């Protein structure tokens, strides 16, 4: 048995902040990060032997739950053959065909190693295809740690933007335009000023990294129409929503056909993966066919391809319905608990949910932009997170991160959840 605090202190000696991704540090929380050593189904277990019902689910890819038997079996069989070749292999072809056969508006796909890498390539592709430099993004959408995506709004619509991280050159920020979500007036004005220099507009069609900010479909359709009118490419970042809300993602739910889509998470079954997909005319701008360079030593890693394909093959209308039903029941359980626990201690919370994604949100009016989120959210989140953690219920350790439900959150887990909530 390994003590969590000791492990964290040791880790901080060798790793910046003791973590390999900042959100894992539990920054702003009173608890020590949990070191997880095994998982199964809807449960994770830390090094001290405590189990938790997991609503992080590796931040989304584990739609079937941890250690799914069919995925595990497929990985074991692949592992016997090898795990990295640096050459062409058949597994990525199988996964590519499976995805493209189910997303009607896409012709070709290229696999990379992360969502960040997919976004980086999508932006370069948009610039290479259009011959333009500027990219429009939205406050409240996260697109990985690409330099040009770690930009926040500056002073004025037509003015400069500023980097939200050290190490990003000013000239990078200058080519990134920023607008608030759900700001149709600002959107129209931005295109009026910059339309003919905008290579692409990138947006999470379901913003899910600064809370769950479900957008008005008309706003997204306006973005699409302005892109078409100005020759800009619309990039849907569906790293989170792709293959989680359904096979064709938010593009299907919104009845919008983006020019480029980025994927990740679910398509790797929990292994590192990302992807860029578009029509053939756009994708053949990439090398070796076109002049936009992209490469990756470990891209289309055989294990990620096999794990992803095994995951996707288990998803169908029945599976998605079951996962969404699980999420609905979880929403109901938490909603009742918010009202009833400890004389309404958490009654100022509500759940915002879209299918199998949910967010513990302030009990305010409909939230569509980050400016509408109370600034003290992290402080408010602390007692809720600590209470649930003590009860053996694991959330993403950040007030702005969302929760994920899987097929493994079945009726037995729901009973256990209710027991843990009220004990």
Q: Tell me: do 272 and 322 sit in the same domain.
A: no
- The continuous run of DSSP H or E covering 179 comes out as strand 176-180
Q: Determine, yes or no, domain membership for 377.
A: no
Residue corresponding to tokens 């979500």: 181
Phi-psi region of 216 (alpha: psi -120 to 50; beta: other; left: phi over 0): beta
Between vectors from CA 19 to CA 14 and to CA 25, what angle results, nearest 5°?
Answer: 130
User: Which of 12, 33, 50 lies at the terminal end of a domain, its last residue?
Assistant: 50
Phi, psi of 409 (to 5 degrees): -80, 65
Position 17 scores a pLDDT of 94
User: Which of 243, 278, 313 lies at the terminal end of a domain, its last residue?
Assistant: 313
Q: Tell me: do 41 and 102 sit in the same domain.
A: no
320: annotated active-site residue? no
Position 152 scores a pLDDT of 67
Pair 268, 61: CB distance under 8 Å:
yes
Q: Determine, yes or no, domain membership for 383.
A: no
**CA 89, chain centre distance (Å):** 28
Residues 6+ apart with CB under 8 A from 408: 41, 42, 64, 65, 66, 68
Total domains, the chain: 3
Position 110 scores a pLDDT of 98
Q: Determine, yes or no, domain membership for 234.
A: yes
Residues spanned by the domain of 235 = 77-313
Pair 287, 276: CB distance under 8 Å:
no
Q: Tell me: do 302 and 336 sit in the same domain.
A: no
Pair 351, 335: CB distance under 8 Å:
yes
Q: Determine, yes or no, domain membership for 417.
A: no
Phi-psi region of 270 (alpha: psi -120 to 50; beta: other; left: phi over 0): left
Q: What does 389-422 look like in DSSP terms, one character per residue? A: HHTTEE--SSTT--EE--TT--HHHHHHHHHHHH
Average pLDDT by consecutive 10-residue portion of the chain (423 residues)? Answer: 88 94 88 94 97 98 98 98 96 98 96 97 97 95 84 44 70 86 96 97 96 96 98 98 96 97 97 98 97 96 98 97 98 96 92 97 85 86 96 95 97 98 94
Q: Considering only CA atoms, which of 323, 141, 130, 303 is closest in space to residue 231?
A: 130
User: Which of 283, 313, 343 lies at the terminal end of a domain, its last residue?
Assistant: 313
Phi, psi of 398 (to 5 degrees): -160, 135
Position 161 scores a pLDDT of 53
What torsion do the CA atoms of 247, 251, 256, 258 make, to the nearest 10 degrees?
Answer: -110
280/276 Cα distance (integer angstroms): 12
Q: How far apart are the first and last CA of the chain?
A: 26
Position 166 scores a pLDDT of 77
Position 162 scores a pLDDT of 60
Q: Determine, yes or no, domain membership for 7.
A: yes
Residues 6+ apart with CB under 8 A from 16: none
Task: From residue 274, give the alpha-carbon distance in Å to each of 109, 237, 347.
Answer: 10, 11, 39
Q: Tell me: do 1 and 145 sit in the same domain.
A: no
Position 31 scores a pLDDT of 85
**CA 38, chain centre distance (Å):** 23
Position 163 scores a pLDDT of 66
Q: Tell me: do 149 and 217 sit in the same domain.
A: yes
Q: Tell me: do 37 and 9 sit in the same domain.
A: yes
The three-class DSSP label of residue 245 is: coil
Beta bridge partners of 351: 360
Q: Tell me: do 106 and 216 sit in the same domain.
A: yes
Q: Tell me: do 253 and 346 sit in the same domain.
A: no
Catalytic hit among 43, 142, 394, 400: 142
Strands 233-237 and 198-203: parallel
Q: Tell me: do 320 and 307 sit in the same domain.
A: no
| Furthest-apart CA atoms within the chain: distance in Å | 64
276/288 Cα distance (integer angstroms): 15
Q: Determine, yes or no, domain membership for 69.
A: no
Catalytic hit among 46, 54, 183, 237: 237
Q: And the tokens for 69?
A: 């038997």
Q: Determine, yes or no, domain membership for 71.
A: no
180: annotated active-site residue? no
Position 169 scores a pLDDT of 74
265: annotated active-site residue? yes
CATH number at residue 165: 3.40.640.10
133/338 Cα distance (integer angstroms): 48
Task: From residue 94, give the alpha-carbon distance in Å to each of 72, 101, 109, 294.
Answer: 18, 11, 12, 21
Pair 92, 111: CB distance under 8 Å:
yes
Q: Determine, yes or no, domain membership for 308.
A: yes
Position 82 scores a pLDDT of 96
The three-class DSSP label of residue 271 is: coil
Q: Tell me: do 357 and 306 sit in the same domain.
A: no
E strands, 78-222, where? 108-112, 134-139, 151-152, 162-163, 176-180, 198-203
Q: Tell me: do 295 and 161 sit in the same domain.
A: yes
Position 155 scores a pLDDT of 32
Q: Tell me: do 221 and 274 sit in the same domain.
A: yes
Position 153 scores a pLDDT of 45
């Amino acid at each position: 048995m390994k003590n969590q605090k000791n492990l964290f202190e040791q880790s901080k000696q060798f790793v910046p902040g003791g973590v390999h991704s900042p959100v894992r540090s539990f920054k702003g929380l009173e608890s020590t990060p949990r070191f997880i050593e095994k998982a199964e189904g809807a449960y994770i277990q830390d090094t001290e032997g405590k189990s938790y019902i997991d609503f992080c689910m590796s931040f989304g890819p584990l739609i079937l739950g941890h250690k799914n038997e069919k995925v595990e079996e497929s990985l074991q069989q692949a592992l016997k053959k090898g795990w990295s070749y640096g050459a062409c292999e058949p597994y990525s072809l199988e996964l590519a065909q499976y995805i493209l056969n189910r997303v009607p508006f896409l012709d070709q796909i290229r696999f990379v190693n992360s969502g960040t890498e997919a976004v980086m390539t999508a932006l370069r592709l948009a610039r290479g295809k259009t011959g333009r430099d500027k990219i429009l993004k939205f406050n409240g959408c996260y697109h990985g740690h690409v330099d040009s995506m770690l930009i926040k709004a500056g002073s004025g619509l037509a003015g400069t933007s500023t980097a939200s991280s050290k190490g990003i050159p000013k000239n990078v920020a200058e080519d990134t335009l920023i607008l608030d979500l759900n700001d149709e007036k600002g959107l129209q004005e931005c295109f009026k000023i910059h339309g003919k220099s905008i290579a692409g507009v990138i947006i999470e069609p379901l913003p899910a990294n600064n809370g769950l900010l479900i957008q008005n479909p008309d706003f997204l359709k306006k973005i699409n129409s302005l892109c078409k009118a100005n020759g800009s490419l619309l990039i849907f970042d569906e790293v989170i929503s792709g293959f989680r809300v359904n096979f064709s993602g938010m593009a299907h739910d919104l009845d919008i056909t983006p020019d480029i889509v980025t994927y990740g998470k679910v398509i790797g079954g929990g292994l590192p993966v990302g992807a860029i997909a578009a029509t053939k005319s756009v994708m053949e701008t990439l090398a070796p066919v076109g002049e936009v360079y992209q490469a990756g030593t470990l891209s289309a890693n055989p294990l990620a391809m096999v794990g992803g394909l095994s995951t996707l093959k288990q998803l169908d209308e029945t599976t998605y319905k079951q996962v969404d039903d699980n999420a609905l029941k979880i929403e109901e359980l938490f909603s009742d608990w918010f009202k009833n626990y400890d004389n309404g201690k958490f009654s100022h919370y509500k759940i915002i949910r879209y299918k199998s994604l949910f967010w513990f949100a302030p009990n305010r009016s409909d939230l569509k932009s980050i400016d509408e989120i109370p600034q003290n959210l992290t402080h408010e989140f602390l007692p809720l997170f600590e209470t649930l953690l003590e009860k053996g219920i694991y959330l993403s350790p950040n007030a702005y991160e969302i929760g994920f439900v899987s097929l493994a959150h079945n009726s037995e887990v729901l009973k256990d959840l209710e027991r843990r909530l009220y004990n």
